[in-house]
Amino acid sequence: MGPVIAVGYLLQHTATILMRQSDQVLQERLGIGMSQYKLLMMLENSPNVQQRKLAECLGQTEASISRQTKLLCEKGLLASKVNPKSRREHITVLTAKGLKVTEAAADVLSIYHTPMLDLLNEKQQQQLMEILGKFHHHTCVPGKPFACDHPFGL
């Protein structure tokens, strides 16, 4: 296996496993999945964004976003209201409870992933962040499929 194939495989495999593990820990501790957490995070950072844009950025279908939005509204984490400028359009916003759950999920994931990051010293962690930032910048340039429209920055 050549280095390009090996790197691609390791990135995909690691991302898939981390996603599944993150989904499981969020389900167990907060009753939401990773996809729901990402939706809450997007709405926290970009209020009033359309479902189509959410679907594009998260790599999901509009039907999936609609279904998750409905579930999160039922849990009291999101609220949907009619846009005063256009009565046909609905605006979905985080509730106070939704904001608390979003923050709690970030904390849960941070605690969960800390042992993995502790495998690296501080310099290696900085290098990893720089490398991942470069990969993100390369893959998320405008015009590429599923590209996000925000700069990388944590």
Blockwise average pLDDT, block size 10, the chain, 154 residues: 83 94 97 94 85 83 91 93 76 92 97 96 96 88 71 47
The pTM (predicted TM-score) of the whole model is 0.82
Asked, for residue 151, whether it belongs to a domain, the answer is no
Structural domain span for residue 122: 3-139
Nearest Cα residue to 60 out of 24, 89, 19: 19
Q: Can you tell me whether residue 150 is helix, strand or coil?
A: coil
Looking at the structure of the chain, the number of domains it has is 1
Q: Can you tell me whether residue 119 is helix, strand or coil?
A: coil
Cα–Cα distance for residue pair 140/135, rounded to 1 Å: 8
Asked, for residue 152, whether it belongs to a domain, the answer is no
Asked, for residue 127, whether it belongs to a domain, the answer is yes
Domain containing residue 67: CATH number = 1.10.10.10
End-to-end CA distance of the chain: 33
